Amino acid sequence: MQQEITKKIRSNPKFAELIRKRTAFGWQLTLVILAIYYAFILVIAFAPSILATPIFPGAATTVGIPIGILVILAAFILTGLYVRRANGEFDELNRQIIEETKE
Amino acid sequence: MRNRLLAVSGATTGIAAVLLSAVPALAAGAVEGPVQKQAVNVAAIVMFAIFVLATLAITYWASRRTRSAKDFYSAGGGITGFQNGLAIAGDYMSAASFLGIAGLVYTNGFDGLIYSIGFLVGWPVVLFLIAERLRNLGKYTFADVASYRLQQTPIRTLAACGSLVVVALYLIAQMVGAGKLIQLLFGLDYWIAVVIVGCLMILYVTFGGMLATTWVQIIKAVLLLSGASFMAFMVLAHFGFNPESMFQAATQIHPKGMAIMAPGSFVSDPVDAISLGMALMFGTAGLPHILMRFFTVSDAKEARKSVLYATGFIGYFYILTFVIGFGAITFLMSDASFFTKATGFDKIKDLIGGTNMAAIHLAHAVGGNLFLGFISAVAFATILAVVSGLTLAGASAVSHDLYASVIARGRVNELQEIWVSKMATVVLGIIAIMLGIAFEQQNVAFMVGLAFAIAASANFPIVILSMFWKKLTTRGALIGGFVGLISATVMVILGPTVWEKVLGNAAHSAPFPYDNPAIFSITLAFIVTWLVSVTDGSQTARNEEIAFEAQYIRSQTGLGAEGASSTH
C-alpha cells in the first residue's frame, strides 16, 4: 500500500514539477541570504572603511547603518517571498498531487 | 561569542548594593533615599509577581489540557503559525540578547549590529531548508527526523547527546546570568534567584508541558517587544524622530567618538568572523529547543508562517536594541547618577552594574521607577521563558529518545513516557540549579558560543543530511555527528577564551588560535559523515538508501505526517 502510493506519486509529473520548482527556489534564496551575509562579513573583515563613509558630508550616520538595517530587512523579505510562494503556488500543486494519489 | 554576551557583568552582592543604594540618586535628585529605594524594588517585585501568578494560572489551565504525549511534547500540534512565531521569538530573544547586545552597542556602537545580524540570518536558512521537512517527518524531537530511516538506537543516542550537551551549556549560561541579573535588579541573594528560576521552570514544564511553555514564551515576547518598543520610541522622540541627530549626539558624547559608527575591533580576524557567522547561522538550525517548536503547529504551511513571523519579530527587536544602545549612550553618558563615581568617571567602565545594565538604566531614564520595575520584571520573565523551553527540549531527549526508543526499545505506553519526561524535567531542573550555583564565580560567557558551535557541528549536519542525502548511513551519521560534537568542544577548550581566560593559562599559549571553531568543526563533521557513509558497504546501509524514497515523498508532500490532535 505504502509502496504503491510512493510509486504513484513518483510517476506523477506534477510531483517532479513541485520538487524541481520548490527545491530550486529554496536553494536560490539560501544562496542569496548567504551571499548577502558573507558579503557583509567580508567587508567588515577586509574593508571596514567602506562602512565608515558618512551618508552625506558631515553626517554622523555612516553607510554601515542603513546597510546593516537592510540586511535585517532582506532576511525578513526573503522569508516572506518564500512563504508566499510555498503556501500558495507550491501547496496548491501539493494538494493536487495528494488528491490524484487518492483516486 | 566573546565574553560580553552573557556576562551580565561581574555582578557581586557589592555591586548590587551599590546599584540599589544609588537608585534613589537616579530619581531626579530626590532626598528621601530609603523610600525611593523601597519603591523601586516593590514596583519590580509586584510586576514580576503578577507575571508569575498569570503564568502559573496558565500552567494550571494547560495542565488540564495536557493528557497525551502529543499534548505534552507538542501542545497537541494545535498552535497557530502566528502564535508559534511569537513563541519562537520568545524562545530566541534571551536576556543575553536584550541586555548583552544593548550593552555591546553602548560600548562599541556599530559592532552590536554585526552581532544582531549574525543571530538573525540563520532564520531564513531554517525556513528554506529545514522547517517544512522537519514538520512533515518529525513527531516530537529532531531525532525523529534524523532516525526516520536509520537505526533508532545509535541515532537517537547521538541526537540525545547533542541535545543534552547544547541544553546543558545554554542552561548554565542562562542560570548564572539569571542569578546575577536578579541579584542586581531585585537585591535577592544569588542562590535564591537561581532556586526561584529553577523551581518555576520545573512547575511550568512538569504540569503544563509544551502548552504552558509556549504561552509563557508568547507572553514574554509580547512584554519584551512592548517594553523595548516604548524605550526606542522615547529615545527617538527625544531626537524628533531624526536618527541623524541621535547619532550626532552619541558621537559627541561617546569616548570613542566617530569610531562607534563603523566596524571596530570587535571583529578583527577574518577567520574568526566567518567562523562566528557560521556558528550563529547554522547553529540556529541545530538548536533542539528551537527545532522542537516546529512540531507544535498543525502542518508545513503553519511551520513556514512561524518562521516568517519569528524572523519579523526578532529582526524588529534587534533594530530596537540598536536604538536602545544608542539611546543609552546619549541619555546615560552625561548623567553622573548612573555611574559609580560622581566626577571623572569612565563612561564605560564605571557604569553602575557594568555595561550590560545600560538598557536597564535607560528604562529608568525614559520611564521612571515604574518602567524600571517593568523592564526588570520583563528581564526576569525572559529568562524563565528561555530556560523552560530548554528544559522541555532536554527532558524530551531523555524520555522520547533515550528512554522510549533506546532503553525500552519502543515497548512503552504514553503514560510511562510522559511520567519519565516529567521526572527528567525535575532532575534537569535540580541539576540546573546546582550547576547555576556551582558556576557562580565562573566566566560562562563562552558557553552560549559553544552551544551554538556544537548545535552547528553535531545536530545541523545530521538533520540536513538525513533530509537531503539518500546515501547517508547510520554509521556515517553516528561517527560524523560525534566527530562534530567532540571537535567543536575540544577546539573551544583549546581556544584563547577558555584556555587563557577561563583556565588561566598564559596569554598567547592557546594551542588553537581561534575563539570560534565552527568553520573547522562543521566542515570536519560533513567530511567524516560523507566519507564513512560512502565507504559503508553493509546491507543495512543499502536498506537505508532504499528507505530514503518513502521518506523523501513524505518530507515533500506531508503525506502521512503527524496531524494536530487538538486546537488551542
Per the rule left: phi > 0, alpha: psi between -120 and 50, beta: everything else, B368 is: left
Residues of B in contact with A69 (CB under 8 A): 319
Interface touch A83/B127, C-beta < 8 Å: yes
Question: Partners of B399 in the beta sheet?
Answer: none
Question: Is the distance from CB of B424 to CB of B398 less than 8 angstroms?
Answer: yes
pLDDT tens by residue, B512-539: 998 889 999 999 999 999 999 999 989 9
> What was the pLDDT predicted at B266?
61
Q: Which residue has the higher pLDDT, B184 or B117?
A: B117
Cell digits of residue A89: 503556488
pLDDT tens by residue, A9-27: 888 899 999 999 999 999 9
Question: Which of helix, strand or coil describes residue B339?
Answer: strand
Interface touch B132/A49, C-beta < 8 Å: no
- Range in B23-27, B110-114, B228-232 the model is least confident about: B23-27
Distance CA B67, CA B58 (A): 16
Question: Is the distance from CB of B396 to CB of B136 less than 8 angstroms?
Answer: no
Task: Report the candidate in B394, B535, B524, B523 with the shortest Cα–Cα distance to residue B473.
Answer: B535
Distance CA B562, CA B565 (A): 9
Question: Partners of B412 in the beta sheet?
Answer: none
- Give the residue-averaged pLDDT of B546-565: 82
Q: What is the ipTM of this complex?
A: 0.94
Residues of A in contact with B123 (CB under 8 A): 75, 79
> What was the pLDDT predicted at B41?
62
Residues of A in contact with B258 (CB under 8 A): 52, 60
Cell digits of residue B255: 569616548
Question: Partners of A54 in the beta sheet?
Answer: A62
Interface touch A19/B125, C-beta < 8 Å: no
User: Measured between alpha carbons, how far apart are the two ends of chain B, in Å?
Assistant: 38
Per the rule left: phi > 0, alpha: psi between -120 and 50, beta: everything else, B255 is: alpha
> What was the pLDDT predicted at B293?
95
Alpha-carbon distances of B114 from B121, B156, B244, B315, B358, rounded to whole Å: 11, 36, 20, 13, 18
**pLDDT band of B22, cuts 50, 70, 90:** very low
Question: Is the distance from CB of B178 to CB of B6 less than 8 angstroms?
Answer: no
Q: Would the CA dihedral through B24, B28, B31, B35 be positive or negative?
A: negative
| Dihedrals phi, psi of A54, to nearest 5 degrees | -65, 150
Cβ neighbours of B82 (radius 10 Å): 15
> What was the pLDDT predicted at B1?
36
Q: Does the beta carbon of B270 lie under 8 angstroms from any beta carbon of chain A?
A: yes
Cell digits of residue A73: 530587512
Q: What angle do CA B9, B11, B14 make, to 5 degrees?
A: 145
Cell digits of residue B125: 536558512
At which residue does the C-alpha cell 558497504 appear? B537
Interface touch B262/A65, C-beta < 8 Å: no
pLDDT tens by residue, B458-486: 999 999 999 999 999 999 999 999 999 99
Rounded to the nearest angstrom, the minimum Cα separation between B230 and chain A is: 20
> What was the pLDDT predicted at A1?
59
Distance CA B501, CA B4 (A): 13
Per domain, the residue ranges of chain B are: 13-557
On average, the pLDDT of chain A sits at 91
Span B13-557 CATH architecture: Up-down Bundle (1.20)
Q: What angle do CA B183, B184, B186 make, to 5 degrees?
A: 70
DSSP letter for each residue of A45-82:
HH-HHHHTSBSSTT-S-BTHHHHHHHHHHHHHHHHHHH
Rounded to the nearest angstrom, the minimum Cα separation between A89 and chain B is: 12
DSSP letter for each residue of B196-262:
HHHHHHHHHHHHHHHHHHHHHHHHHHHHHHHHHHHHHHHHHHHTTT-HHHHHHHHHHHSTTGGGGGS
Rounded to the nearest angstrom, the minimum Cα separation between A87 and chain B is: 6
> What was the pLDDT predicted at B36?
31
pLDDT tens by residue, B32-53: 223 333 334 677 788 888 989 9
Q: Which residue has the higher pLDDT, B316 or A8?
A: B316
Give Dmax (Cα) for chain A.
73
Q: What percent of chain B has pLDDT over 90?
A: 58
| Cα of B247 vs its chain's centroid, Å | 30
Search chain A and give the residue with CA nearest B316. Answer: A72
Interface touch A87/B305, C-beta < 8 Å: yes
Distance CA B408, CA B412 (A): 7
Task: Establish how many alpha carbons lie within 13 A of residue B7's alpha carbon, considering only the half-sphere containing its beta carbon.
Answer: 16
Task: Report the candidate in B226, B504, B265, B292 with the shortest Cα–Cα distance to residue A45.
Answer: B265
Task: Report the candidate in B285, B286, B288, B284 with the shortest Cα–Cα distance to residue B393.
Answer: B288
> What was the pLDDT predicted at B30?
28
Q: What percent of chain A has pLDDT over 90?
A: 73
Q: Does the beta carbon of A33 lie under 8 angstroms from any beta carbon of chain B?
A: yes
Q: Does the beta carbon of B546 lie under 8 angstroms from any beta carbon of chain A?
A: no
With a CB cutoff of 8 Å and minimum separation 6, the contacts of B237 are none
**pLDDT band of B342, cuts 50, 70, 90:** confident
Q: Does the beta carbon of A85 lie under 8 angstroms from any beta carbon of chain B?
A: no
Question: Partners of B195 in the beta sheet?
Answer: none
- Going along chain A, which residue ranges are E strands? none
Distance CA B135, CA B290 (A): 12
pLDDT tens by residue, B252-302: 999 999 999 998 866 667 888 888 889 988 999 999 999 999 999 999 999
Q: Would the CA dihedral through B424, B427, B433, B435 be positive or negative?
A: negative
DSSP letter for each residue of B253-318:
HSTTGGGGGS--TTS--HHHHHHHHHHHHHHHTT-HHHHGGGGGBSSHHHHHHHHHHHHHHHHHHH
Percentages (nearest 5) of helix, strand, coil residues in chain A: 85, 0, 15
CB pairs under 8 A between A and B: 150
User: Measured between alpha carbons, how far apart are the two ends of chain A, in Å?
Assistant: 13
